[in-house]
Amino acid sequence: MKRIFTLLFVFFLFSTAHTQSHQNWKTDLDTLEKRLLKKDYLFTEISKQEFQLKIDILRKNKTKSIAFKYWELFKLLENFKTYSLTLDNVPFKRFPFTIKQFQKKYYLTSIHSDFDYCLAYELIAINDFNIETVMKVSKSVNKLNIQSFLQYYGFSNSNNLKLTLLTKDNKKIKINISLSEVNSNNLVKITPKKTPFYLRKPNKWFWKYGINFGKQVYFKYNIGLSKEFIEKIKDSFKISELTISRDYKLPLQEIYDAPTFNDFTNKLFDKFKKRHYKKLFIDLRNQTTGNVIALKKFISKLKKLKRINKKNRLYVFIDKNSSSATLKTIITLKNELNILIIGDKVKGASCSTNLISSFSLPYSKFKLFVPDQKCKIITIEPNIIATPSISNYINGVDAILQKALN
């Protein structure tokens, strides 16, 4: 009798916990529904009624794991087809390998030490699902090793994956890789023979260099802000460094230590007083945050520099990972100056970082990024296509810079 009572009590506790968990999930969905319904401009590809219907279906679904709840929301937000409406990543369990895309193909760039011989092999299929099928759902190589993603979409149902690979000799091989506790930092990685030029000073907001015996000036723009811009918006909008830090998703100390852009601009244009400097390369790759207004003075001065502001003299480098803030900057440069764009085709939302706010759901703590206004969806077609190959990556060759120099 005592044993039966204990079992009933345990069942009661489990049932209560499960009921509470589902109620928390419903509260999260209520919060999401309420916040998004206020944003009328989001509802162009999906109506408010369709959105509410999908929310109702999720309320009724008794999704078991927190990871599956994440993918339910991920799938829901895809209906908006708004690039700047996104879910923040969470620390999922991942299989011990990573993938990078090069020229429409996918290659292993790190893996568990048991399979180090597979580095730089092309990934063809996961559990016999060809990679193109998986990528139609994923849209990002960053999801290809996430266990819950693969399970939610039916590409896997265990702690093991079968990867079909193409060797350097164009032979198909298959390996079985298991979920492990190996940290991604401890995987065996491809080590490029040298660091590409544009990756050499990742912590500097912006920097310049005279290259090719001083014939070109290279301007790397990592963070699209400056001390002058920060001081201006502080005075104009009466906001603090903390608010700016949150708006532009940067550490507070970086805002306090922001570099001066006016001095940088003056020194850069002083170089062009020397006639042997014939070209300017503006590299926007890996720029994650910013506001195009911070470039206003720079653009104004460049417009007046007729010797550089002409075709085949002024280049802008982009890649397929360009952020919303970068796209806004590219469009402005294209409209104001005579630029040639080199890199990959890019599609996304053109929107400065401060126009994308965020909020977290109360129980799951999932963080959503939401545009504060309608951001224009644009496609940028480069004047000159340049995409790195796996060989470029291994050898540390910057294919885009090489294209511009040639």
From first to last of its 406 residues, the chain has per-residue pLDDT tens of: 556 555 444 444 444 445 678 899 999 999 999 999 999 999 999 999 999 999 999 998 876 789 999 999 999 999 998 888 889 888 899 999 999 999 989 999 999 999 999 999 999 999 999 999 999 998 889 999 999 999 999 999 999 999 999 999 999 999 999 998 777 778 999 999 999 989 999 999 999 988 876 688 999 999 999 999 999 999 998 999 999 999 999 999 999 999 999 999 998 888 888 777 889 999 999 998 999 999 999 999 999 999 999 888 999 999 988 888 999 999 999 999 999 999 999 888 888 888 888 999 999 999 999 998 888 888 999 999 999 999 999 999 999 999 998 8
| Three-class SS state of 173 | strand
Adjacent-strand bridge partners of 368: 87, 359
Q: What is the pLDDT of residue 4?
A: 58
Q: What is the pLDDT of residue 9?
A: 46
Q: What is the pLDDT of residue 277?
A: 84
Q: How far is CA 131 from CA 69, 108, 125, 138, 405, in A?
A: 24, 13, 5, 10, 34
Q: How far apart are CA 313 and CA 398, in angstroms?
A: 19
Strand order in the sheet with 206-211: 206-211, 216-221, 279-283, 314-318, 340-343, 384-385
81: left (phi over 0), alpha (psi -120 to 50) or beta: left
Q: What is the pLDDT of residue 15?
A: 45
DSSP state of 89: P
